[in-house]
Amino acid sequence: MITYTAIVNVPDYPPREKHPTIFRTFDELNNGEFMQIVNDHDPRPLLYQFMMERPEAFEWEYLEEGPETWKVSIKKK
């Protein structure tokens, strides 16, 4: 069972703070630690941003894929 160092409930944040909060939380993880994001829509654009800004530094796994809630596990490599 995975232990999450942090869980970010994305809808709790104003739009301009969502991605910065997620990336700040990710950057604070130690290698091998996991965070989870919970969102009200598919966070695929965030995945693309991770691919551009943190290539080879993360593993992304969908835990739940809608229709009302999406959950993603993100591991820092």
The first and second tokens of residue 60, run together, are 């992304």
In a domain, 46, yes or no: no
Chain centre to alpha carbon of residue 56: 15
Pure H helices in the chain: 15-28, 44-53
Range of the domain at 16: 1-38
Within a domain: 24: yes
Structure tokens at 58: 């993360």
**In-domain check, residue 19:** yes
Paired residues of 77 in beta bridges? none
- Read off the tokens for 20: 């910065």
* Number of folded domains that form the chain: 1
Does residue 1 lie in a domain region?
yes
Is 64 within a domain?
A: no
Is the pLDDT reported for residue 12 higher than 90?
yes
**Residue 70: pLDDT band with limits 50, 70, 90:** very high
- Arithmetic mean of pLDDT, 19-42: 98
Question: Is residue 44 in a domain?
Answer: no
